[in-house]
Structure 1
Amino acid sequence: MDRAEMVELRARMRTFDQVYIRTAVMNLGYSIVILKLFDRRFYRIGLLYAVLGALLYFSALARRRHSNHDFADPPTQDEVHSIGVAQGSHRVFGRPFRTAGNIVLVVSVLVASMQITLCVLLFHV
């Protein structure tokens, strides 16, 4: 692996993989703050954030696996031609970037359901 390939791999990891992990850790940290600072009535809300953080971590693992698959698999001849024309370079770093639409959809559903559950819990407290 040469220097340009390492730079590309790090940029993909920093931009597309680690953001899911940072969000999961942030939610877990937020749940700890809720559990430590608030009284017993808010324990369910802290638990909700802990569950969301754990589920986001598993979606981060799925996103990382998707990204590793994209970077490691050799592109087809059509993909090589389209990458060279589109980016003006003949250097190919794995398959062309494709968004992880399924993972984004799962995370969107998770966060939306968490927000609805949070509103229900707040109205019952």
Structure 2
Amino acid sequence: MKQANKSDLIRGHRRESVYLTESELQDLRARQRTFEGAYWRTSLAAFSTGLLILKVFTREFYKIGITFFAFGLALLAIALWRRRTAGDVFDLTIPFRTSGNWIILTTLVTLVAYIVLFVLLINV
């Protein structure tokens, strides 16, 4: 039988065998929405906007569509990187704390994307 890693345990039990109360389950779902959902939804929205611009508008707007695609890729990369390095963010025994470093990185990526979009819109 495989030895369980510390990250595979919740309250000292395997994840598959833990029965959560309704309150704990609600808290876990909220963490999931906050932790992963926001980055994935924003990434998909950026991809969709880029695709819409590339399909509907003329060649002059292609750079704007590509900028949205790059922004979506950057947010997807942040989401994957954050998930890999998260460790025990879904362990209910540890209080949830938003990581300021990830927020700063996301803010910088968003700021760069908006500056590029602003410059491209001025030049169109």
User: Normalization by structure 2: what TM-score?
Assistant: 0.75
Matched, 1:41 2:60: yes
Matched, 1:3 2:20: yes
**Contact (CA 8 Å) 2:31, 2:90: kept in 1 or not?**
no
SS of residue matched to 1:71: coil
Matched, 1:22 2:41: yes
Whichever structure has more helix as a proportion of its residues is 1
Give me the whole-angstrom Cα distance separating, in 2, the residues matched to 1:71 and 1:117: 36
Residue correspondences, number: 105
Give me the whole-angstrom Cα distance separating, in 2, the residues matched to 1:113 and 1:99: 22
Q: CA deviation at 1:59?
A: 1.2
Give me the whole-angstrom Cα distance separating, in 2, the residues matched to 1:65 and 1:34: 32
**What is the identity percentage for the equivalent residue pairs of Structure 1 and Structure 2?**
38
Of structures 1 and 2, the one with the larger relative CO (CA 8 A, separation 6+) is: 2
**Contact (CA 8 Å) 1:70, 1:94: kept in 2 or not?**
no
Give me the whole-angstrom Cα distance separating, in 2, the residues matched to 1:52 and 1:17: 17
Range that drifts further, 27-36 or 4-13: 4-13
Give me the whole-angstrom Cα distance separating, in 2, the residues matched to 1:105 and 1:44: 26
Unaligned runs of at least 5 residues, structure 1: 73-92
**Aligned-pair RMSD on alpha carbons?**
1.7
Matches within 5 A, 1:1-125: 1-4=18-21, 5-72=24-91, 93-125=92-124
